[in-house]
Structures are given as structure tokens and as C-alpha cells.
Chains A and B, each alone.
Chain A
Amino acid sequence: MTLAGSLAMPHRAPSFRPVERTPPIPNAVVAIVVLVTGEAMLFAGLIGTYLIFRISAPDWPPRDLPRLPIPVTVANTLVLLASLAPITRALRRLRRGEGAGLARLLGTSAAIGVLFVAVQGAEWARLIHHGLTAGSSLYGATFYLIIGCHAVHVVAAVVWLLVLAALAWLGRVTPERRAGLEMATVYWYFVCVLWVALFGVVYL
């Protein structure tokens, strides 16, 4: 082709294929990581306070107060950790593009969380019956503050999971709209790992 011929050709602009611009990290994941970081700092402050009281006390726990139920709490910890399996499976299914059974898996995790809170509540009732109240001593005050704060987080996470299970039941949790489940999974992992740390600090 001569230069004159090439100049005579009609000009065609190159066609640009639209490229989907997605951020490397979804904004929802960044948000939940920031939230979890703040929550972790809250619990770090509570643990720091607890350490002061525990190390400076001559007897911890005080001799006239009941001991914490370690075997039941160990079993309850295993129950809580078992709740990670269904929610992890649900997220993996959704990432693979499968949406079947999501509501059942999320409901299972939420039910295990309810069981954890129920056992905690029963143990609290027993401790209060034996005289360990928030006003009985610093031991009781710090125990109910830290463990109660964690229980509030578990309840919030359970409500979140139940809402997600309902949305999955309605078919509104899809592989394209899975940010809520990703956030809930990160939060649920945080609640479970935090409980292991609190158990080691407060109970042992």
C-alpha cells in the first residue's frame, strides 16, 4: 500500500473494549477491617484494665467468690469455633458462584451463636446466684464488663447473620452481591478469635 493509498483510507478510531475497573480490595472489606481494628482496640483497653486489677490483687479470684466454670466454657468455646465452618463454607460457595444452601449454612452459624450466648447466660445466672455480681468486687465488675461486652458483639453478629440468612432465603445474596456476607464473615471470625483471647485472659 502506497502512502497516498493509506492516506486515502477512511480513518477508523480504535475500538476500546470497556474494562471493568474493580478495586483490588472491595470497599466493604476495608470498612469491616477498620471497624474490627477499632473494636480490637476497645477490648485491648478493657484487657489492660483487667491486667492491672488481676496482677495487683493479692488473691485473684477472691477467695470468698465462686470460681469460673472452666470445663463448660471450654466446651462452649469449641461450640463457638465450630460455627466458623458453616459461614466459611457459605462464603466459599458464593465465591464459586453457587448460591444453593446459603440460608441453611448462615442459619446454622447463627443458631450456634445463639447457643453460645444461651450457655453464657445460664452460667452468668448461676454465678450471680452464687454471689458473683458486678457490684460484689472488682473481680465481678471486670468479668461482667469484658465478657458482657463480648456477648453484646456476639448478639450483634448473630442478628447480622440472621438478616443475611433471610436475604439469602429471598435470593438477594448472589455471587455479584456478596459484600454483606464477606463483611459478616470477617466480623464473625473476629468475634470467635476474640473470645479465645478473652477466655485465656479472664478464665485461665
Chain B
Amino acid sequence: MKAMSCHSVQDRLSEFLDRLLADEEREKVAAHLASCPACSARFQSFETTRATLRRMPNLPVSAALAMKLRVLASHERQRRLSRASVSAWLRYCHDRASLQFDNLMRPMALPFAGGLLSALLLFSMLVPNLSFRHTVGDDLQLVTYTEPEGRLVESLPADGAPTWFWTGNSPEPTLESADAVDSGKDTVLELIIDETGRVADYSVSHGQLTAEMRSIILLSRFTPATLNGKNTWGKKLVRFPSGPRRTRRNVRS
């Protein structure tokens, strides 16, 4: 039987260790190992390494990982079952949707209930002490607004001496603030006054546009409204009383 070289034996050491060599080859390797200390030492270290590898402690699966795997298996099983029929699929979708909804709502339920209860408790404690006093004037006035002011003019004087005249036949109309209460009976002319004091637009409620109104619109001049000292647009109401006709009189400024 021809002896093997060290190189040949070393190439076969792994298979020899795993008992995968044919009988004849195995005997040759065994004979070489018995006579060659270097190869024998090499084989011994192979064997020791493998023994240590096999004796390495088994790494236990942690409880957390085992639980995750069970949950994963459960989900995948449900997923597989849901594909069996349409009704199973619909039930699966419904279960998932309700689970998602529960998961979404559950974290909010306690804070919401707690907040609501504490709000109710606080409110019920505070209600007897609540008072609704109006502290008008305490606030710092941030916006100053003045309404447009002026006198109504039906016609301009011939000599130019008096500035403002009322020469109409009807009872003298009154100039009122834009937020005055409308009685519903009087004819009201609403004037929009621009920043130069002229009438820019108008509208008539409860009546027709008369010649007097036209004159008022054309001839009247106003001190424009101001907002924080600057001229701005404003609104005024001209109320024409619906009472009995009074005597004619002049209005001088």
C-alpha cells in the first residue's frame, strides 16, 4: 500500500474527521497520522476545534422574540385564512380595521376622559363664583374712529354768506349715525362718504329717491371719517321723518 504524502493527507483531514473517506483511503490517512507527528497534531487541532464548536452553548431564544414569532405566526395564519373565501377576506378586513381603530383610539381614551372630567369639575367649582361684570373703559383703546360729520344742504346760497342751508319743503331730515336703529317707518337715505368728504354712493330704503335727496347727495359736504387720524370712507344715514309737514325754515351753521 503506497503511503500518502503530508499534502494529500492534509487535503483529506476534514473528510477523515467527518468519516466520509472510503475504507482504503481512510486506512492510508490513519497510517500516515500514526507516523507523522505534524499531521497528527494538525488533525488533533481540527478535532478539538470541532469539539469546541459542537459544545458551544445553545443561545436561547428570548421570551420577547418567541412572543414576536407567535404574533407573526398568528397574523400570517389569519392572512392565509382570509384568502380562502370572499366572506373570510371581508371578515379579516373588518377585524383589521376594528383593531386599527381600537389601537388608534385607545391611547386617546384616557387623556380625553380625564380632560373632560377635570374640565367639568373645574367648571362646576367655578360656576358659583362667576360674575359677568362689564369693565368698559379698562381696555386700552387701540383703534380711534370718528364718523363723518357735516350738515345737510339742499341748495347753495346765492350770496355765499351762510355756508349751510336747509331750504327743503319737507320736514328737516336728520343726520344719524350708521348704526342707528331703523324704525321701519321713516324713509332713510344711506350715504357712503369718501375720504374727501363727498358722497360716493347711496341707497334708499322705504321710499323713492326724491329731488331733495338728489340735492343732498350732490351738494352736501362732510368732514370725512377718520381712522387713527387718517381720512377714510364712512357711512351716514339721513332720516326723513314721515310725520306731518312742518313750516319751512332755514338752517344756518
Q: Do A and B share a complex?
A: no
